[in-house]
Structures are given as structure tokens and as C-alpha cells.
Amino acid sequence: MTGEGARKGACAVAAQITTDEDRALKARHRAMWASGDYPSVAAQIVPTLGPTLVEACEVRARDRVLDVAAGSGNAALAAAQRGATVVASDLTPEMFEAGRARAAELGVEVEWREADAEALPFEDDSFDVVMSSIGVMFAPHHQAAADEMVRVCRPGGRIGLLSWTPGGFVGELFQVMRPYSPPPPPGAQPAPLWGDESHVRDLLGDRVENIRTSLGNAPVDLFTGPHDFREYFARNYGPTIAVYRSLADDPERTAALDADLDALAARYDRGRGAMEWEYLLLTATVRG
């Protein structure tokens, strides 16, 4: 991607995201992710995913790294531990406090920046590595977010994405919650599509090369059983909290959602609450 092409792409993105409707959508997204305790979810359930992505991106000392939709910095902190210069960006800065505390415990430095993944506040070609671990997938406009990741990565730099798959546990979780949720706004795309290799290849297009993909499974053994999983997610995970809040005046549908979530967790239970959650890992190099 040329610098001129990237700048034109950035202008198109800026035009797309400045409508009142879109600003309201982003405000709802920020409130949703701030409503629970996502830092605990990341630390207690999927602590290995950030380091897995960093290793796949071959992050090295002195690399300049951007973690997009970083949350509390599961991937950003792993990159900083390798000696990289790291910026962690997220639409929901309420999660940065936990990240800063963890960075202090680890003795590493990370720059924390509030930022919309669809309109990143960075110059073209600013980073050696641009990555996202189960983060950018939740940006509603997939092409805009992919364009921004490519724009801010230098030619020859690496793009890294780790996303839940549509057919894995989290993809099915969103399918279960969809009938109970308010309809998405026009143009918003389902998050688990980022776990579909063909979809991500289409998003990145011919601007990247050396694409490598693999499927993995995150082992999850925090829960004692389906009921424990449901209660934890209803208390801590923003999207699940939002669905239950939308049903606050409808006890019958709330009970139906309870039953559907319990059934989903039971299908994935490998014994004593242990589960595996499938993800797609994709890395690529930005063309010069």
C-alpha cells in the first residue's frame, strides 16, 4: 500500500465514522465493555492468547508495536516483555487501569492510548508490528478496522490477528445471544467473522503477503460447570451483561436465555467444566 493510498483510505474512514449514529454506536460499545470486568476475564480465562499472538508475530526487542483494541493489554504486555516499544490502544480506556497495574508488576513500560480501531490516531507506516488479540474483531465495521491496521503498519511490517472462530465456543455464544439482543445497527458486522480465514483475507486483500494461518484451542478450566460459566459471564463479560440488561423486564425470555447458555456450555464441557475455545491465528507481512 502506498503512502498516498493509505492517506486516502484514512480520509475515507474518517468520513465513515463521523456520523451521529456511529458516534452513538461507539459510545454504546465503550459502555458495554466498561460495564463488566473484562480485565479479569482476560487474566483468568485466556491469559495465554496474548503471548501466543506475540510469538507468532515474532516481536523483537526495539520493534515498535501497536496492540489494537488491547483491553487491559494481554498482548501488549507480552510484547513489552520482549523489549519492544509498545502502544496499547482501546476504545474503552476504563480497562487501562488494570493494564497499568500489571505492567508495574512486570516491570515493563507500555503507552496507553484511547483510540477507535476504525480511526487510529497514528501516522501512516508508524509501527513494525500491528496486532490484535480477540479485540479488533469487535469493531463493528470490519473493513474500516482492517484498513487502519494496514495503514499504520510500515511496508515489510507484520500484521497479527487472533480471533474467535464462528464455529467455536465463543462464536456459538454470540449465535445463542443474538435472538435475545436488540438488532444491530445497519452496517455492523458479526464479530466472529474475523475468525473466518477467507473473510480476513478479503479484508486485507493484496496489500499483504506471506499470510500464515492456524487454528488453535484455548483451554478454559475456570468453571465448575455450565451454571458457573453463565453466572460468571452474566457478571463480568460486557456483551452478555448487555443482553441480560435488555431483558430486564422480561423474566420469561431471561429464563430462556439462561437455559440456552447452560445448554451451550454443557455441549462443550469435557468434564468438570473444562472446555476448549477455538480461535484463528493469522499473520501477514505488509507489502512494500
Q: Alpha-carbon distance 288 to 207, whole Å?
A: 9
Reported as a single tens digit per residue, the pLDDT across 46-62 is 999 999 999 999 999 99
Q: Which three three-digit cell numbers place residue 275?
A: 472446555
Instruction: Give domain 3-220+278-286's CATH number out of 3.65.10.10, 3.40.50.150, 3.40.190.10, 3.40.50.300.
Output: 3.40.50.150
Q: pLDDT class for 21, splitting at 50, 70, 90?
A: confident
> What local confidence, expressed as pLDDT, does residue 204 receive?
98
Q: Which three three-digit cell numbers place residue 100?
A: 497499568
Residue 19 confidence (pLDDT) above 80: no
63 or 15: whose pLDDT is higher? 63
Across the beta sheet with 111-114, the strand order is 111-114, 85-90, 64-67, 127-133, 153-164, 275-286, 208-220
Residues pairing with 86 in the sheet: 65
Query: What are the domain boundaries of the chain?
Result: 3-220+278-286
> What local confidence, expressed as pLDDT, does residue 20 receive?
81
Q: Alpha-carbon distance 79 to 87, whole Å?
A: 10
For the chain, how many helices (H) and strands (E)? 12, 7
Q: Alpha-carbon distance 107 to 238, whole Å?
A: 29
Residue 11 confidence (pLDDT) above 80: no
Give the residue among 277, 72, 273 at the shortest CA–CA distance from 163. 277
Q: pLDDT class for 18, splitting at 50, 70, 90?
A: low
Residue with cell 466498561: 34
Reported as a single tens digit per residue, the pLDDT across 215-252 is 999 999 999 999 999 999 999 999 999 999 999 999 99
Q: pLDDT class for 65, splitting at 50, 70, 90?
A: very high
Residue 274 confidence (pLDDT) above 60: yes
Reported as a single tens digit per residue, the pLDDT across 148-201 is 999 999 999 999 999 999 999 999 999 999 999 999 888 899 999 999 999 999
Reported as a single tens digit per residue, the pLDDT across 76-124 is 999 999 999 999 999 999 999 999 999 999 999 999 999 999 999 999 9
> What local confidence, expressed as pLDDT, does residue 12 receive?
42
Say how many CA atoms lie within 13 Å of 104 toward its Cβ.
6
Q: Alpha-carbon distance 21 to 57, whole Å?
A: 35
